[in-house]
Amino acid sequence: MSVTSNQEPRPISKKVFMASNVFCLRSRKAPGRDVKLIGPALFDAWLLLEFDPDVVSICERPHLDIAILRSNTSRAMDFWVARQSHAQHGVIVHGASRKDKKTTLGVLQSALEVSTIGCQIWPEADLMRRRLLLRNLKQMLPYVNSNEAIDAPLIESLQRSIRGGGDAGASLDDLFRANAQRSRTQVAACLFVQFHRGKVAAELELSPLTTDTRWLPT
């Protein structure tokens, strides 16, 4: 199965849509349509995929299921992902579906071992342990999706400032001062889209995102 920009995910029934917490979002890795994610666990998992520079495209709710052994049931995949290497695989967020209450992690792993479809299991508990990173990514997301995020001259200026800082890199405050003729929204948007592309890095797993956060070239 290939993920393409015109591929459509499984539709969400009106009943499920009305009864669930559905996040409707723009994604740079699913151009031309809004992404619809059912529940906070899938939103968090999608954020990690969206900001993974090795991931080039994402399809939520692909038309793929994993048959559960010795059972007449199956578990739908939550995502199908294509990577820079052209490798593709599914992602199941265990705990995100009501069906997961009846399907233990071990049973799901056994089902994947005999499946011909490559798939990763992401336990919901693992996502909860990355709450600080996820909070930081949620702060950056509106900037990444803004119309001001793609400004080639400003992006090049930011890269020069970050490289010029050597091992210390540059903080957002440094970048604001170096580009005082631009709005802070423009500067932040261009910086965060460079992080989205994997061109700069910061220790967002360890500290809250602030204007003092140090950004380094990759």
24 phi and psi angles, rounded to 5 deg? -110, 115
Residues 123 and 48 occupy one common structural domain: yes
Query: Is-contact 194 158, C-beta < 8 A?
Result: yes
Strands, sheet with 88-94, edge to edge from the N-terminal-most edge strand: 55-60, 79-83, 88-94, 119-123
pLDDT the model gives residue 2: 47
7 pLDDT tier (thresholds 50, 70, 90): low
The answer to whether residue 1 scores a pLDDT higher than 80 is no
Residue 97 has which token pair?
A: 């579906």
108 phi and psi angles, rounded to 5 deg? -65, -40
Residues 101 and 138 occupy one common structural domain: no
Residue 167 has which token pair?
A: 């091992």
pLDDT the model gives residue 31: 80
Residues 122 and 143 occupy one common structural domain: no
pLDDT the model gives residue 136: 98
Residues 58 and 86 occupy one common structural domain: yes
Among the candidates 128, 148, 173, a domain finishes at 128
Other CB atoms within a 10 A radius of the CB of residue 150 amount to 12
Among the candidates 93, 128, 163, a domain finishes at 128
Residues 104 and 144 occupy one common structural domain: no
* Domain enclosing residue 73, as ranges: 14-128
Residues 136 and 149 occupy one common structural domain: yes
Residues 74 and 117 occupy one common structural domain: yes
66 pLDDT tier (thresholds 50, 70, 90): very high
Residues 72 and 51 occupy one common structural domain: yes
The amino acid at 50: E
Mean pLDDT of 67-72: 87
How many domains would you assign to the chain? 2
Among the candidates 96, 128, 160, a domain finishes at 128
Residues 85 and 60 occupy one common structural domain: yes
**Residues pairing with 66 in the sheet:** 75
The amino acid at 55: V
The answer to whether residue 5 scores a pLDDT higher than 50 is no
pLDDT the model gives residue 46: 98
| Three-state secondary structure call for residue 5 | coil
pLDDT digits (tens, 9 = 90+) for 159-213: 999 999 999 999 999 999 999 999 999 999 999 999 999 999 999 999 999 999 9
CATH number, residue 88: 3.40.1350.10
148 pLDDT tier (thresholds 50, 70, 90): confident
Alpha helices, DSSP H, located in the chain: 14-19, 40-50, 105-113, 124-128, 131-144, 152-164, 172-178, 184-196
pLDDT the model gives residue 150: 85
